[in-house]
Amino acid sequence: MAILGAFLVLGAISGLLAGLFGIGGGMVIVPALVYLLPKVGVPDDLIMSMALGTSFSTIVVNTFSAAQHHHKLGNIEFSVIKVFVPALMIMGFLTASIVTDLPKHIITKLFSVLMFYLSLKMFLSIKSQKVATKQLTVRSMITAGSVIGVLASLGGIAGGGFIVPFLEGRGLALKKAIGTSSFCGCLLGLTGMLSFMFYGYNIPNLPDYSLGYVYLPALFGVVSVSFFTSKLGAKLAAVLSVSILKRAFALLLVGIAINMFFKY
């Protein structure tokens, strides 16, 4: 019951932060699961794979409502989706096969470096609109989709920190870049969840109530609360000084990333 309570608290926090800062939950969920999963009997060598797979499963639920909302507002650019998403999903699926075979200390360090980069980027972010410097071509979308698919699979994240700047820097309006990113994140989360289920199928020593590398009690505990607190976070974003909170949160994430890098 104590662990289930911890999953509920994690869902509340990750949802609130997602709504407040517009980030994916993976940056918070993965480090928390690395700490919590050993307490439910997950073997040390499977912890990171379980954390990443479970993180992806929560992303599916957390990004679906956002993608649906953006679709109603007309903020999803489907001409980008049809080229960008296949590369994103294929590389995400293939990368999962490599990630699940890597030793825990290597996956942890790769995640820590990626988390450090995204946290630092969040800290240094400026709210000014980007000026398009390059054109959005089929080649650039395939290349970017492939690279982001790899990075997202390594980090158990929705990839918005990479997708939005890429699309905005190539001429897509910010609202359309965010809306398109949310749709991409939902499909990427689905791909990540299915791939970690597939590669974790019949793996020995998994805890009860697991589907491959997805731990179901964590999934249900997180999303049952985050779905509601994400809306609260969005409302708070309208009245709080998000830029200051965002930088403080980014510094906290940098500290967590450094701790994970040297601890595991």
DSSP state, residue 209: S
pLDDT in tens, 172-226: 887 888 888 888 888 988 999 999 999 998 888 888 899 999 999 999 999 999 8
CA distance 243 to 21: 9
Confidence of residue 237 (pLDDT cuts 50, 70, 90): low
pTM: 0.84
**Which pLDDT score is estimated for 108?**
87
Residues 6+ apart with CB under 8 A from 79: none
CA distance 5 to 22: 25
pLDDT at 156 over 90: no
Instruction: Write the burial class of residue 96 (CB in 10 Å: 0-12 exposed, 13-18 middle, 19+ buried).
Output: buried
CA distance 165 to 51: 26
Helix (H) or strand (E) holding 211: strand 210-211
pLDDT in tens, 95-144: 998 888 888 888 888 888 888 888 887 777 655 555 556 788 899 999 99
**Which pLDDT score is estimated for 1?**
75
Q: What average pLDDT score do residues 242-246 get?
A: 72
Confidence of residue 260 (pLDDT cuts 50, 70, 90): confident
